[in-house]
Chains A and B, each alone.
Chain A
Amino acid sequence: MLDVPHASSTDSSETAFDLRKEAETAGITETLQQLEQELIGLKPVKSRVRQIASLLLIERIRQRAGLVSAPPTLHMSFTGNPGTGKTTVALRMAKILHGLGFVRRGQVISVTRDDLVGQYIGHTAPKTKEILKKAMGGVLFIDEAYYLHRPDNERDYGQEAIEILLQVMENQREDLVVILAGYGERMTSFFASNPGFRSRIAHHIEFPDYSEAELLFISELMLRERGYRFSSQAREAFEKYIAMRRTQPFFSNARSIRNAVDRIRLRQADRLVSDLDRMLGIADLETIESADVLASRVFTGGADAVRSTKP
């Protein structure tokens, strides 16, 4: 690999390695801590990410010690329901890989079918290659990857994009890491019809749904980021909101919660502006009252709410 960041002099006489120092110079302790703090729940994901990071760290030390080290296959697939943090984890992953020098630049190119597949014959290959070239030295994140393959149309150009991808994934493993993401079942059938993909991906990571307690925690984190907080009644109301929203259609975990938080802010602003003759304190500005939460259409059956919470 050429000009790897943090490339250390290959001193084969070294026999002891300070693991903590190694991890810190690579920046993974920091990134893993951030992952732990900012991502709620997702236990299996975190443990898998930690395993991968550890492997990469050890691999790097082995390289320096002059032991046999084969560059690990790093392509991954993230499966899980909408809003379970697949994109966020992909961004973190790029940081970890970059810190350890397994990708050279660490940029993340996020694409969907439209960016890879063309509309007419001969249009797909240049388009796919263009994206691959941009992603070289970084991470290519293909969201909703199963759209690449259209089983009902055998002349679909998606197949062409898949072939180019597979070729580059195999031949330029040290230049590029591909992460496929998508909803569980459809990814399974996608892999079933493209066995080449399945075998070229070393890490299949499943993203579980959030529990209600985790969703509440996420909502509070989001509010804190935006400089708001729940009053105690509002908090209770929001707990009820989450319980109801989860049973309604088109629920997409953290994304639904983010949308709910944004609408609650709207209603809070509306409530404050509706009474122009009073003096506002800081507390008024940052407190969400239960009325702001309870006005949601989710509490009245949610038929309309469905349309506005679609991702």
Chain B
Amino acid sequence: MKLTQGCFSFLPDLTDDQIYKQVQYCLANGWAVNIEFTDDPHPRNTYWEMWGLPMFDLQDAAGVMMELAECRKVYGDRYIRISGFDSSHGWESVRISFLVNRPPREAEFELVRQEVAGRAIRYTTVGKPAASAAP
């Protein structure tokens, strides 16, 4: 199952050139660029681990690409995303976030229904443990 989170996730995976251009766009806007990785891409898991510090006074995306290459070397078997944080007043939030790396075998999720009082239904997204994931 192809994980779809953040921008561009319904498109084919971005090439390095495309990532470079997106990052350059972030830097041109003065956003701080972060590289984050996780082995638990559950949609409710907002807080991924950071690779190094946010990069905010770079001029050129080559620096970010250098870090990304290193992050991929270490955590190539995990999800890696790049996010751009806009610190300007009124925004102060993440403006862009997109996946830049997927593990060879993607995470699987399923929807669990739970019947509660008054025949109401509650839904929960549950990650399938990697071992039991369908072959």
Task: List A113-148 residues whose CB lies under 8 Å from chain B.
Answer: 126, 129, 132-134, 136-138
Tally A residues with Cβ within 8 Å of B.
Answer: 17
Is A134 in contact with B17, judged by CB distance below 8 angstroms?
no
**Chain B residues near A176 (CB, 8 Å)?**
62
Residues 57-86 of chain B: 1 if any A CB is under 8 Å from the residue's CB, otherwise 0?
Answer: 111111110110000000000000000000
* A104 proximal to B (CB < 8 A): yes
* A3 proximal to B (CB < 8 A): yes
Is A2 in contact with B20, judged by CB distance below 8 angstroms?
yes
Task: List B45-59 residues whose CB lies under 8 Å from chain A.
Answer: 52, 55, 57-59
Q: Residue on B with the closest CB to A103?
A: B60
CA distance A172 to B20 in the complex (A): 15
* A214 proximal to B (CB < 8 A): no
Is B62 in contact with A175, judged by CB distance below 8 angstroms?
yes
**Chain A residues near B55 (CB, 8 Å)?**
133
- With both chains docked as a complex, state the minimum distance between the C-beta of B70 and any C-beta of chain A, in angstroms: 9
Given A2-B21, A3-B24, A133-B67, A172 contacting B59 (CB threshold 8 A): no
Is A133 in contact with B17, judged by CB distance below 8 angstroms?
no
Is A105 in contact with B59, judged by CB distance below 8 angstroms?
yes
Size bracket, chain B contacts: 10 to 19
Q: Residue on A with the closest CB to B17?
A: A2
- With both chains docked as a complex, state the minimum distance between the C-beta of A197 and any C-beta of chain B, in angstroms: 20
Given A2-B17, A133-B55, A134-B57, A172 contacting B62 (CB threshold 8 A): yes
Given A3-B24, A126-B52, A172-B66, A107 contacting B59 (CB threshold 8 A): yes
Q: Residue on B with the closest CB to A174?
A: B62
Task: List B114-133 residues whose CB lies under 8 Å from chain A.
Answer: none
Is B66 in contact with A136, judged by CB distance below 8 angstroms?
yes
- With both chains docked as a complex, state the minimum distance between the C-beta of B23 and any C-beta of chain A, in angstroms: 11
CA distance A144 to B63 in the complex (A): 24
Across chains A and B, the number of contacting residue pairs, with CB separation under 8 Å, is 45
**Chain A residues near B52 (CB, 8 Å)?**
126
Given A2-B17, A126-B52, A133 contacting B58 (CB threshold 8 A): yes
**Chain A residues near B24 (CB, 8 Å)?**
2-3
**Chain A residues near B63 (CB, 8 Å)?**
132-134, 136
**Chain B residues near A136 (CB, 8 Å)?**
58-63, 66
- With both chains docked as a complex, state the minimum distance between the C-beta of A307 and any C-beta of chain B, in angstroms: 37
Task: List A218-267 residues whose CB lies under 8 Å from chain B.
Answer: none
CA distance A105 to B60 in the complex (A): 7
CA distance A132 to B52 in the complex (A): 14
CA distance A168 to B61 in the complex (A): 15
Task: List A134-171 residues whose CB lies under 8 Å from chain B.
Answer: 134, 136-138, 168
- The chain B residues found within 8 Å of chain A, CB to CB, are 17, 20-21, 24, 52, 55, 57-64, 66-67
A-B contact pairs, 21 of them (CB 8 A): A3-B21, A104-B62, A107-B59, A126-B52, A129-B66, A132-B63, A133-B55, A133-B58, A133-B63, A133-B64, A133-B67, A134-B57, A134-B59, A136-B58, A136-B60, A136-B66, A137-B61, A172-B66, A175-B60, A175-B62, A176-B62
- The chain A residues found within 8 Å of chain B, CB to CB, are 2-3, 104-105, 107, 126, 129, 132-134, 136-138, 168, 172, 175-176
Given A2-B20, A132-B66, 14 other A-B residues pairs in contact with their CB atoms under 8 A? A2-B17, A2-B24, A133-B66, A133-B67, A134-B58, A134-B63, A136-B58, A136-B60, A136-B62, A136-B63, A138-B60, A168-B66, A175-B60, A175-B62
